[in-house]
Chains A and B, each alone.
Chain A
């Protein structure tokens, strides 16, 4: 059994060495011994409105409304923070999944803000492509901006 264990250890060490060697030969694609940070496009996911609503109900989602302040004032997801793609991130709370939305699949504000956030913040970021129209159509809770 001792021989088998030594052999297993040798396989692990050889596999690790081959991985490191290949990475050096092919060209570094990853930074060794540095805290791993996933590429932006892999850190930003997409969620449908029902998944976003589950995050809303569980309190695990921090909703970010990427629309203009006027549109936000007309109505938004309760508790959502209004933040433009070039806005000040300090107003965003830490923790939870950031759920970004704008005026639907055609508006690019969510993607631009997600890209900006992914470079500044760690943690999970998702875009709700259906946006505000999809949220309203699903009949989920809304906050009329004039009542805040």
Chain B
């Protein structure tokens, strides 16, 4: 397994685990989204239902090489969104659960950094696929 496959599968595994951990408890994830105080309250429920499934689909697509560029674009958009929302929450002094993984984690400045690393990994996968399709 090469470095390219490794980064794709790692990215996919992270999003698959994150999505699976939230998919079966939408009411808890909804409370975590609401804690960020960024999303209109009428959209919180929809996001709590949709986001975990989108993460699962993107994660599986990356692992099994099904539309990997599209999946990497999705993970890039999600990572950017998570980085912005955690940064805004931290800047506002909120002490909330990140809602990112199956363990209870309060947000810290480490979170936007990890999100930016995932964004970089996603961009790398998009570029790799673009390069390989041009060859």
Contacts and interface: CB of A to CB of B under 8 A. Distances in A.
Interface string B35-62: 0000001101110111111111110010
A32 interface: yes
Given A16-B54, A19-B50, A35 B26 contact: no
Contacts of B30: 30, 36, 38
Secondary structure of the B side of the interface? Answer: helix
A7 B48 contact: no
A12 B54 contact: yes
A59 interface: no
B50 A15 contact: yes
B32 to A, nearest CB: 9
A18 B42 CA distance: 19
Interface residues of B, number: 34
Nearest to A31: B45
26 contacts: A3-B70, A4-B70, A7-B67, A7-B69, A7-B73, A8-B70, A12-B50, A16-B46, A18-B57, A19-B26, A19-B46, A19-B49, A19-B50, A20-B46, A22-B23, A22-B49, A29-B26, A30-B30, A32-B46, A34-B45, A35-B41, A36-B30, A36-B45, A39-B31, A42-B28, A42-B31
Contacts of A32: 45-46
A42 to B, nearest CB: 5
Contacts of A91: none
B105 interface: no
A20 B27 CA distance: 13
B63 to A, nearest CB: 14
B88 to A, nearest CB: 17
Interface string A29-49: 111111111110010000000
B49 A20 contact: yes
A16 B27 contact: no
Contacts of A35: 41-42
B36 to A, nearest CB: 12
Interface in A99-140: none
Top 6 closest A-B pairs, CB basis? A7-B70, A19-B49, A15-B54, A36-B44, A15-B53, A16-B50
Interface in A53-72: none
Contacts of B9: none
B77 interface: yes
A30 B26 contact: yes
